Amino acid sequence: MKGLTHFVSGVAAATFIPQVVRMSAAGRMDVTGAASSFIIVLAGMYGIMPDTLDFKVGQFFDKPDIIVDPDPLDPDPKEMAQKFAEAVSRSAREGRMIKIQYMPIQLGANRWRQYLIIFGEKEVSVQINEVVSTSQIPYQGTAPDPEKRSATVPLSHRIKPTSCDTDTLNRLVRKTRRFLKGGEKEKTTVKPSTIDILSGTTFGLKMESDGDIYFDWLPWHRTWSHSYILGLMLAAPWALAAYLFKLDMWWMYGVVAFLGFAVHITEDMTGHIGGSLLWPFLKPRTEGFEMFKASDPRTNFSIIYAGFILIVFNLDRFTTNLLTGGPESIWSWWSFLLVFLILPLAVYFKIAARILKRIKKREAGLKFTREEEEPDGTGDPVID
């Protein structure tokens, strides 16, 4: 999910603790325990922390075995595809995960050369596309000449998107997911990857017990950083600092920080990639429940909106008592949530469904082969 979604969720979760809301109220308010505390900020900060660790630190310290940095003036698709084939062969030969990173081609402040990596069962293709803007809009007529446009290279082994060498936790998640979804189609092909703006993409390739190569997309993402244990370790210093500064309810600072972190990891489990929940005790990444796509704007928007309404609801019931619970309030808690949370979201989903229907209608005549991989956590590219 987007960074802001995790951020708002963490804050909303913290506001369910009455003491946290009261100690955060300004000292001038007529609220017992009001201390102008910034404690809630910890929930937001730790709500976005796991992705910050990944995208700002982890990915750069996770050294790839092969780096493909195409020539901006004359990118060679064949050479780029061959590098991938080499990574597959090395993985089979060395029996360990080989990481290959594809770099972006930036041509200007707002111009990037886009390229695609398309995976077949036993082949890989690279296709050089147009120059695109930071909004990923192609500049027409900038595609390379047909002979330099694409190349396909055979692979020594079959690549697959799902691992077969799984641990107990992963098997449990898979079973639960199948139970919840009533069965699921087996994934056989790896989705194509588009590389254009900002940082590039890394693929992990590992030979598994069935003789095929497991294709791990962004192998550095949602591993150690998405662990409840790490969350506890990172939250503890706040409790300790609060204790040393002799703050009231010092332990609450650790609780709130951990809550933000835990909400993030739990939310991510609703997606596809999952996380290494018990790192360092259990290092492999546990798959998600595949309920939503991390980049789905409907999920993100509805969680942010719900978070906002719940924050208002909690701040009011624990401090001002204007909306619900006060002697003169006109709403009961359920009528407030019905009118301001459930009904607006129902209207929103209705509108989103109409827009999607229109999109599908427009695309009815076009044949689409597959969707692309899409990273999450950082939000959409924002021009600023």
* DSSP string for residues in 86-141: HHHHHHHHH-S-EEEEEPPEEEETTEEEEEEEEE-SSEEEEEEEEEE-TT-PBPTT
Closer to another protein by CB, 214 or 318: give it: 318
Among residue numbers 342 through 361, which ones bind another protein (CB under 8 A)?
Answer: 352, 355-356, 359
Find residue 112's DSSP bridge partners. 106, 132
Could you identify the residue written with the tokens 């992990």?
A: 204
Distance CA 57, CA 7 (A): 19
With beta carbons less than 8 A apart as the criterion, state whether 23 and 256 touch. no
- Closest separation in Å from C-beta 238 to another protein: 14
Considering only residues 66, 85, 97, 116, which one is a binding residue for another protein as defined by CB under 8 A? 116
- Closest separation in Å from C-beta 95 to another protein: 24
Q: Alpha helix locations (H) across 122-201? A: 168-181
With beta carbons less than 8 A apart as the criterion, state whether 152 and 124 touch. yes
Among residue numbers 293 through 312, which ones bind another protein (CB under 8 A)?
Answer: 295-298, 301, 304, 312
With beta carbons less than 8 A apart as the criterion, state whether 126 and 77 touch. yes
With beta carbons less than 8 A apart as the criterion, state whether 5 and 241 touch. no
Q: Does 150 bind another protein (CB under 8 A)?
A: yes
Closer to another protein by CB, 30 or 281: give it: 30
Q: Does 63 bind another protein (CB under 8 A)?
A: yes
Beta-carbon contacts of residue 174 (< 8 Å; ≥ 6 apart): 166, 287
Considering only residues 12, 13, 45, 234, which one is a binding residue for another protein as defined by CB under 8 A? 45
Among residue numbers 214 through 233, which ones bind another protein (CB under 8 A)?
Answer: none
- Closest separation in Å from C-beta 206 to another protein: 21
Closer to another protein by CB, 268 or 316: give it: 316
Q: Which amino acid, one-letter code, is at 202? A: T
Closer to another protein by CB, 56 or 171: give it: 56
Buried b or exposed e, range 13-41, using 16+ CB within 10 angstroms: bbbebebbbbbbbeeeeebeebbebebbe
- Closest separation in Å from C-beta 169 to another protein: 29
Closer to another protein by CB, 180 or 351: give it: 351
Looking at residue 165, what DSSP letter applies?
S
Q: Does 158 bind another protein (CB under 8 A)?
A: no
Q: Does 339 bind another protein (CB under 8 A)?
A: no
Total site size for another protein, rule CB under 8 A: 109
Q: Does 323 bind another protein (CB under 8 A)?
A: yes
Q: Does 145 bind another protein (CB under 8 A)?
A: yes
- Closest separation in Å from C-beta 316 to another protein: 5
Q: Does 362 bind another protein (CB under 8 A)?
A: yes
Q: Does 200 bind another protein (CB under 8 A)?
A: yes
From 289, 288, 320, 308, select the one nearest 44 (Cα to Cα): 308
From 126, 121, 128, 280, select the one nearest 215 (Cα to Cα): 121
Q: Does 130 bind another protein (CB under 8 A)?
A: yes
How deeply is 337 buried, as exposed, middle or buried, from its count of CB atoms within 10 A (0-12, 13-18, 19+)?
Answer: middle
- Closest separation in Å from C-beta 59 to another protein: 7
Handedness of CA 4, 203, 53, 283 (dihedral sign): positive
Among residue numbers 266 through 295, which ones bind another protein (CB under 8 A)?
Answer: 295
Q: Does 133 bind another protein (CB under 8 A)?
A: yes
- Closest separation in Å from C-beta 362 to another protein: 8
Distance CA 31, CA 263 (A): 28
Considering only residues 18, 29, 93, 283, which one is a binding residue for another protein as defined by CB under 8 A? 29
